[in-house]
Structure 1
Amino acid sequence: MARILAIDYGTKRTGIAVTDEYQMIASGLTTVATKELLPFLKDYISKEKVELFLVGEPKQMNNDVSESEASIQTFLNKLSKNIPDMPVKRVDERFTSKMAMQTMIDSGLSKGKRKNKALVDEISATIILQSYLYHQ
């Protein structure tokens, strides 16, 4: 089997999480500067078998798309041109940042470490991925 890679896209930073080869466990991988995201993904899939990209889909409470969806669509267009054979699925990412922050609190991380937005993004990507795995 191959891994599934989840992307919590942001205009400055993007959190990334992956499954193990058996698609049983979701783990945070890293956070990358968004301007480096496509080169990072190309490099990663050249080294690891990946069968699917999951990209968070930000929605508002009334199910309307979020303002950030426009920049995500731009990224998705670039992604399809640069890695055309990789399937992409979207996953509702409502509340993932809040859940990530709560996970950090529950884990006993200090206030200083909880201010690390890169860590929040990575945990958010992991939550997106875990949610997808749970509903499969």
Structure 2
Amino acid sequence: MARILAIDYGAKRCGIAVTDESKIIASGLTTVDTKELLGWLQDYVVSEEVELFVVGEPKRMHGEASESEKLIQPFLEKLSKILPDIPVKRIDERFTSKMAFDTMIASGISKKKRRDKKLVDQISATIILQDYLYNL
């Protein structure tokens, strides 16, 4: 069975989360440098069947697209050319970084580990994926 893969896209790095094959559980997978993301995705889909990419959609408080969207659109265009058979869904990602940080505190993660932006990005991707699964 195929998985769903979520991406918290950032200028420097991207958090990646994935479902189990039953599409019930969302788990953080890794963090990938943005420059390497397309190649990493191509390699990943060779080893794991992916039926859908869920990509965070950054919005401002009033719902309009944030400045980050200008970085994401070129990525989405390249992704659709490189992996055209895998559709992309967008999910509002407002507050995911804050939620990720709060989750880390609630989980008892040390201050030192909470400073790790890679972990925050990975947890943010997991929250994006959980939101998608919850709204199925």
TM-score class, shorter-chain normalisation, is over 0.9
The number of aligned residues is 136
Q: TM-score, normalised by structure 1?
A: 0.99
1:36-77 C-alpha deviation (Å, 9 max, x unpaired): 000100000000010000000000110010000010001001
Instruction: Work out the CA distance in 2 between the residues paired with 1:123 and 1:28.
Output: 6
Q: Could you say which residue in structure 2 is the equivalent of 1:35?
A: 35
**Alignment RMSD, CA only?**
0.5
SS in 1 for 2:6: strand
- 4+ residue segments displaced more than 6 Å: none
- What displacement does 1:84 show? 1.1
Secondary structure in 1 matching 2:86: coil
Q: In the alignment, is residue 22 of structure 1 matched against residue 3 of structure 2?
A: no
| Unaligned ranges ≥5, structure 2 | none
1:54 alignment partner AA: V
* TM-score, normalised with respect to structure 2: 0.99
Tell me if 1:84 matches 2:78. no
Give the % identical residues: 71
The residue that corresponds to 2:69 in the other structure is 69
Structure 1 residue aligned with 2:110: 110
**Cα displacement (A) at 1:81:** 1.1
Q: Which residue does the alignment assign to 2:46?
A: 46
Q: Does 1:123 align with 2:120?
A: no
